[in-house]
Amino acid sequence: MIILKIILVIIIIAAAVGVIATVADLLGKKSAHKPYGPYERFVKRGLDAFLATGALIVLSPVLLVTAILVWIKLGSPVLFTQERPGRDGKIFKLYKFRTMLPPKDGIIDPAQDAARLTPFGKKLRSTSLDELPELINMIKGDMAVVGPRPLLVQYLTRYNSHQARRHEVRPGFTGLAQVHGRNAISWEEKFDWDVKYVDHITFAGDVKIILDTVKTVLKREGISGGESATMTEFMGSDNPVEVLKK
């Protein structure tokens, strides 16, 4: 009986956050992107907030234990924060658990990623536990549960017009590219999947991506890109496009 009451309270809290998020989204600044259908227009944002709030509450013990382990293994700070471009190129602060040791002399060099990424950090990444703090971003409205992954700010000037369309919607915790190779496919393939999603956002599609993500994480597929510890830096395609307005 107590468990049922706890579940009911969690549902009520998550539902309240979802309703607030839906109203704020409908009354907020409109994007140039035309929603694919009623789900994207009226349901997706509220459902994202509902699911993220519920998950944050239910998984809070997991987040606490992970935070303690990160502090023991890697020291403080426990969270890694970095500016990332979201919908319409608007910059937001992304939250993740740290998986790497601090860079030498405070200078970040992608070539040193392999040396900085610890075995503990690799386990966090392979299970996607490092990304659980992104639930906060989802509740805030920076991100969605499903959408193109948020990449680096400097990539905005390197996209061509096709690739830049990935920023027409909120970035996601997971997406089509994550269930079609993750970091094991090329940047161009990733962006093609991203744009395909932007043009066809449906409830059934989101559910399938979430289920496929669980399968991908359990199989630990596509964690790294080829010989690199992390995905190699995107340097641009043949036809760069102007920076998206923030």
DSSP E strands in 114-239: the ranges are 144-146, 172-174
Task: Please tell me which residue, 108 or 235, carries the higher pLDDT value.
Answer: 235
Q: Provide the token pair at 100.
A: 């790497």
pLDDT > 90 in the chain, percent: 66
119: left (phi > 0), else alpha (psi -120 to 50), else beta?
alpha
Overall average pLDDT of the 143-160 stretch: 95
Residue 242 has pLDDT above 90, yes or no: no
Overall average pLDDT of the 214-241 stretch: 66
pLDDT category at 31 given cuts 50, 70, 90 is confident
Q: What pLDDT is stored for residue 18 in this prediction?
A: 97
Alpha carbons 2 and 172: distance in angstroms, whole number: 34
pLDDT category at 116 given cuts 50, 70, 90 is confident
Alpha carbons 84 and 45: distance in angstroms, whole number: 19
Mean pLDDT of all residues in the chain? 88
Lowest mean pLDDT among 65-69, 166-170, 176-180: 176-180
pTM for the whole structure: 0.85
Kindly report the backbone phi and psi dihedral angles of residue 96, in degrees, each rounded to the nearest multiple of 5, phi listed first.
-145, 160
Overall average pLDDT of the 23-43 stretch: 90
Cα 5 vs. chain centroid, distance in angstroms?
31
Contact 94, 137 (CB under 8 A): yes
Overall average pLDDT of the 209-214 stretch: 92
Question: Looking up tokens 């599609």, which residue turns up?
Answer: 205
Kindly report the backbone phi and psi dihedral angles of residue 245, in degrees, each rounded to the nearest multiple of 5, phi listed first.
-70, 140
Strand pairing partners for 174? 146
Q: What pLDDT is stored for residue 246 in this prediction?
A: 43
- Which of these, 127, 140, 128, lies nearest to 52 by C-alpha position? 140
Residue 26 has pLDDT above 60, yes or no: yes
Overall average pLDDT of the 177-198 stretch: 89
Q: What pLDDT is stored for residue 225 in this prediction?
A: 47
Q: What pLDDT is stored for residue 217 in this prediction?
A: 77
Residue 160 has pLDDT above 70, yes or no: yes
Residue 22 has pLDDT above 50, yes or no: yes
Residues 86, 138, 100, 67, Cα dihedral to 10°: 160
Alpha carbons 40 and 19: distance in angstroms, whole number: 15
Overall average pLDDT of the 191-218 stretch: 93
Alpha carbons 62 and 73: distance in angstroms, whole number: 16
SS3 173: strand
Residue 43 has pLDDT above 50, yes or no: yes
Per-domain boundaries in the chain: 2-219
> Could you give the C-alpha distances from 107 to 96, 143, 233, in angstroms and in order?
19, 28, 16
Contact 57, 141 (CB under 8 A): no
Overall average pLDDT of the 207-233 stretch: 72
pLDDT > 70 in the chain, percent: 87
Residue 244 has pLDDT above 50, yes or no: no
Cα 216 vs. chain centroid, distance in angstroms?
15
> Could you give the C-alpha distances from 221 to 52, 114, 180, 243, in angstroms and in order?
24, 18, 10, 33
